[in-house]
Amino acid sequence: MFLLAGLARPSGIAAGLIAVRPRLFQNDLDVQLALDEFSASVPQVAQVLGSRRFPTDLAHVRVSWGHAARYGTEGALLIGDAAHAVTPAGGQGANMAIADARVVAEIALSHESQLVQEYERRRRPANARSMRLSLGATIGAAMPDWILAPLIPTAFRILNRWPKLFARGLRFTSTAFLDSPVE
């Protein structure tokens, strides 16, 4: 358990996400123990979690991801998660889906006869680029604790120290899904 993100919404409600490594779910008690440890080490986590406990008050969402072999066939095409489901890493999924839809609209309006092929030609490289973030997150989450535990704070410290590196990473994540990413 290494990340908690919370988002305030109107009317006094909020949404939260806790990244948890899959193997922890082999035993519900281990999840609760990890939550207790996480809350004890970071006061803000305790504040956000309050009295919520696993599994009664928290939903377990299993993330799977992958890239379809083809984006469609005569008369049908796949866009968004149906073509390339991603993990939440780097916030790519909704952006990829919208970029797909824009390209499909552009191609349809240009009366292109090979719609599926042209759509896939334009979107597959960008979607493959976005999926690198899910691959990185999956590799990271599979690392043993003794590597991952010091790696995450070190990575944040490095990014904090070299703002240009941080800016590059931010630029990559905010443009990877575009047909032509901003370098």
Phi, psi of 76 (to 5 degrees): -150, 140
- Of 60 and 157, which has the nearer Cβ to ligand FAD? 60
- Of 62 and 164, which has the nearer Cβ to ligand FAD? 62
Residue 103: strand, helix, or coil? helix
The residues in 138-167 that bind ligand FAD, with binding defined as CB under 6 A, are: none
Residue from the set 92, 127, 130, 134 that interacts with ligand FAD by CB under 6 A = 92
Closest CA to 16 of 25, 26, 8, 6: 6
Closest CA to 89 of 131, 47, 117: 131
Residue from the set 1, 19, 28, 88 that interacts with ligand FAD by CB under 6 A = 88
Number of H helices, E strands in the chain: 7, 6
Least distance from ligand FAD to the Cβ atom of residue 4, Å: 12
Residue from the set 81, 142, 150, 165 that interacts with ligand FAD by CB under 6 A = 81
- Of 91 and 163, which has the nearer Cβ to ligand FAD? 91
Least distance from ligand FAD to the Cβ atom of residue 113, Å: 26
Distance, in Å, from the CA atom of 20 to the CA atom of 40, rounded to the nearest integer, reads 16
- Tell me how far apart the terminal alpha carbons of the chain are, to the nearest angstrom: 33
Closest CA to 90 of 174, 180, 3: 174
- Of 59 and 147, which has the nearer Cβ to ligand FAD? 59
- Of 22 and 150, which has the nearer Cβ to ligand FAD? 22
For 46, the enclosing helix (H) or strand (E) is helix 43-49
Task: Check binding of 127 to ligand FAD (CB under 6 A).
Answer: no
Cis peptide before 55 (omega within 30 of 0): yes
Task: Check binding of 80 to ligand FAD (CB under 6 A).
Answer: yes
Interface characters, 29-68, with ligand FAD (x: CB under 6 A): ----------------------------------------
Interacting residues with ligand FAD (CB under 6 A): 17, 80-82, 86, 88, 91-95, 97
